[in-house]
Amino acid sequence: MIELIKISDPVSLQILSDALESKHIIFRIENAGMNALMPLPAVMDARVLVAEDDVVAAKQVLHDLELNS
């Protein structure tokens, strides 16, 4: 699995998760909800990981959602 993005906004995280799932992209989210326990910016952002074979498609989803930095 390759890290696609770190994200702290739970709404954007849900939108991204829904979009990845709808495209049948294999992904995993780590540290989801941890920023509620440690509400310091960027300390415990959620990490979205995708399968190596799906990186190109996942980056296109980020671009389409305007979440790429």
pLDDT at 32: 77
Which class is domain 2-65?
alpha beta
How does pLDDT run across 20-57, given as a tens digit for each residue? Answer: 999 999 999 998 766 556 656 566 788 999 999 999 99
Q: How do the domains of the chain map onto residue ranges? A: 2-65
What is the pTM for the complete model shown?
Answer: 0.82
Beta-carbon contacts of residue 37 (< 8 Å; ≥ 6 apart): 44
What does each C-alpha distance from 14 to 4, 17, 20, 28 come to in angstroms? 15, 5, 10, 12
pLDDT at 55: 96
pLDDT at 36: 58
C-alpha dihedral sign at 30, 36, 39, 41: positive
